[in-house]
Structure 1
Amino acid sequence: MSASLTHVTVLLEEAIEALAVKADGVYIDGTFGRGGHSRLLLSKLGPAGRLLAFDRDPQAIAAASQINDPRFTLFHAPFAEMGDVVRAAGYSAVDGVLLDVGVSSPQLDEAERGFSFRFDAPLDMRMDTSRGETAAEWLDRASEREITEVIRDYGEERFAFQIAKKVVAARRERRIATTGEFAALVREAVRTREPGQDAATRSFQALRIHINQELEQLALALPAAMGLLVPGGRLAVISFHSLEDRIVKRFMKAEANPDDLPKNLPLTAAQLPQPRLRIVGKPVKASAAEVAANPRSRSAVMRVAEKLAA
C-alpha cells in the first residue's frame, strides 16, 4: 500500500478496550475502512467468536479480501442497515458494536474520489462509488435554496447563500465538474477566512455529508445497534465533527435518562420509562502522542455506552 493510501486507525486500542471483548462474543465493526479495528478485535476473539463488518466503499470491500478468517464476515452495505442484514445472516443479537464515523484517509487521499480540494479531480464524493448521485450531479440540479441549506447546515458556513449564488450563476455557463472548479467558486464567495483553514473546507464537508447521507445514516444506525445488543453489550462510537458527536451524545443521553420529563406529571416510579443504556466513562479523545503521529485524530471523540437489562 502506497504512503498516500495508508490509513491510520484512530483510537485503535481505546476502541477495542471500550467494547470489553468476550472471547466467544459476536461483534459488529460498522465501518471496516482498511480493517485496523477489525484486525485487533479478531485478535481478541477465540475460535467461537464472530466479527461482522460493514462498509459502503468498494475499495474497502476489496481490502477486506486480505482477511482470511472463518470468524470474519464482511457485508457491502451501510451500517444503518445492520439490523436487517445481521438478522438475515442468522444472528439475533450481538455483544458489541463499534462505529468509526466519517470519511477515511484513503478516501481523502485518492484524488479521483473527489473528497478533497487538494487535488483537481472529478467532483464525486460518493463513499459507495457503485451507486447514487455524485456531488457534481447534485450541484447541477439542486436549487439555490437547497445548496444554501446543505452548506449552511452541514458545513456551518456563514457564507452559504453567497456560495450557492456563485454555483447557480457558474453552472449557467457550464457544469461544475471538478473539485478545483467548486473550490474556486467557494473561495470567491467566502469574504473572510479562518486562520489556518482553507475557505473551501466547510463547503466540502457539507457536500460530502449530504451526498452520503452521513447524519441520517448515523441516526438510523444507533437505534439499530441498540436493538441488536444483548444486556451488558457495548456501543462505542468515534465521531470527527460536532454534528456527528451531537447525534451520538443526544442518543446516549436520551437512552440513559428517559425519565427526563416535565415535573409534576401524574406518574408513579413504576410508570416512568426505564433507562436502556448506561454511559461508560467520559468521552475519549486521542492522546497527544497519537495526534502528533496522526493529525487527523485531533478531532476524534469516542463515546461509549452499555445496554442495561430490560
Structure 2
Amino acid sequence: MSEQPYHIPALLPQCLDALDIKPDGIYVDATYGGGGHSRAIMERLDAGQGGHLYSFDQDIDAVKRAGEDPRFTMVYSNFRFITNFMRYYDVDGVDGVLADLGVSFHHFDTPDRGFSFRADGPLDMRMNRSASRAASSLLADIDRDRLADILKLYGELSQARRMADAIVRAREGGRKLDTVGALIETVTPLIDPRKEKKELAQLFQALRIEVNDEMGALRELLEGALRVLRPGGRLAVITYHSLEDRMVKNFLKTGDITGKVDKDFFGRVNAPFKLLASKPIVPDDDEVARNPRSRSAKLRVGIKIG
C-alpha cells in the first residue's frame, strides 16, 4: 500500500483515536484517496488475530495506487454500496467506519479532471469517469431552473439564478461549455472581483456535487454504516462544507439526515448513536499551517447504541 506524498490526510490522529482501533477489529475506510488514513488504520491491525480493513474508492487512479497486504482489501466502488460489499465479503459486522468527504489533492491538482478553476482543462468533475455524466454534458442540456437550484443548494451562491441564466444563454448562443476556461469566461462578468475565487469555488463545488450525486451517496453511506456497524462500533465522518456537515450531524443525533426525530411509545428519542463529543473536532493551528486544505474540516463521531 502506498501513500502519495502530495496528499495529507486530515485530522489523522483524531480519527485514529475516535475509531478506538482494536488489533482484531474489522474496519472500513470509505474514502481511500491517497491511502493516508487507510495505512494508519492498517498499521494497528493484526492479521493473525483477524484484524482487517476494507477500503472503498470509485476512482481507478486511487485503486491502482493501493498495494496488497493480508490485512487489507481494496473495493473499487462508490461507498454508497457499503452494505452490499460487506455482505459480499461475508462480514457480519464492523467495528468502525471512517469517511473523509474531502476531494483528494490529486483531483484538484490534475487539470484534466476538471475539479479546480485554477487551471484550464476538460470540464469533467467525475470521480468515476466510467460511471457518470461529465459536468460539460450536464451543462449541455440541463434545465435553467434546475441549474439555478443546484447552484443555490449545493454552492450557496447568492447569484445562482443569474449564473444559470448566463450559462444557458451561452449554450443557446452556440458556445460549448466543455472546458474549465469556457465556464469561467461565461460567469466571471457576474462576479465581484473581490469575491471571484470564493464564488468560483462555490460554483465548482455545486457542479461537482451534482455530477457525482454526492448527497445521495452520503445518505446511503450513513444508512449503510448504521446497518453494518456492531453495537459499540464507531462512525467517524470528516466534512468540509455546511450541507454535508448538517446531514452528518442530523444523522448521528437522530438516524435521519433531515433531523426527523423517531420516538418510542413513551416519547423517548430512539437515538442510534451516542455522540463522542457534542461539538465537531477541528484541526488545530499547527495542522492548518502544515495542511491549509484542512482548514474547513470537521470530524463528527458516533458510537452505535445496542
Instruction: State the TM-score, normalized to the length of structure 1.
Output: 0.91
Distance 1:149 1:189 in 2: 18
Displaced runs of 4 or more, over 2 A: 192-199, 258-262, 271-276
Shift of 1:123: 0.1
Change (3 A) 1:194 1:16: farther
Distance 2:199 2:255 in 1: 38
Match of 1:278 among 274, 279, 283: 274
Matched, 1:51 2:53: yes
Instruction: Give the gaps of 5 or more residues in structure 2.
Output: none
Q: 1:5–1:105: 8 Å Cα contact kept in structure 2?
A: no
Aligned-residue identity in percent: 39
Q: 1:52–1:74: 8 Å Cα contact kept in structure 2?
A: yes
Q: 2:261–2:269: 8 Å Cα contact kept in structure 1?
A: no
Q: 1:29–1:54: 8 Å Cα contact kept in structure 2?
A: yes
Distance 1:261 1:255 in 2: 8
Instruction: Give the gaps of 5 or more residues in structure 1.
Output: none
Match of 2:212 in 1: 212
Find the residue that maps to 1:299 and give its secondary structure.
Answer: coil
- Report the aligned-residue RMSD: 2.0
Shift of 1:260: 5.0
Match of 1:37 in 2: 37
Amino acid at match of 1:289: D
Shift of 1:63: 0.9
Amino acid at match of 1:176: L
Amino acid at match of 2:182: E
Match of 2:184 in 1: 183
Find the residue that maps to 2:299 and give its secondary structure.
Answer: strand
- Mapping of residues 1-310 of structure 1, within 5 Å: 6-47=6-47, 48-64=50-66, 67-172=67-172, 173-190=174-191, 192=192, 195=195, 197-255=197-255, 269=266, 272=268, 274-281=270-277, 282-309=279-306
Q: 2:46–2:71: 8 Å Cα contact kept in structure 1?
A: no
| Residue deviations 1:179-231 (CA, integer Å, cap 9, x gap) | 111112121223x3555834312111100011011111111110100000111
Q: 1:150–1:206: 8 Å Cα contact kept in structure 2?
A: yes
Amino acid at match of 1:280: L
Change (3 A) 1:153 1:5: farther
Shift of 1:68: 2.1
Shift of 1:259: 10
Number of residue-to-residue matches in the alignment = 297
| Residue deviations 1:34-64 (CA, integer Å, cap 9, x gap) | 1100000001111220000101111111111
Distance 1:63 1:106 in 2: 12
Q: 1:81–1:221: 8 Å Cα contact kept in structure 2?
A: yes
Larger deviation, residues 181-190 vs 156-165: 181-190
Shift of 1:289: 0.5
Amino acid at match of 1:174: R
Instruction: State the TM-score, normalized to the length of structure 2.
Output: 0.92
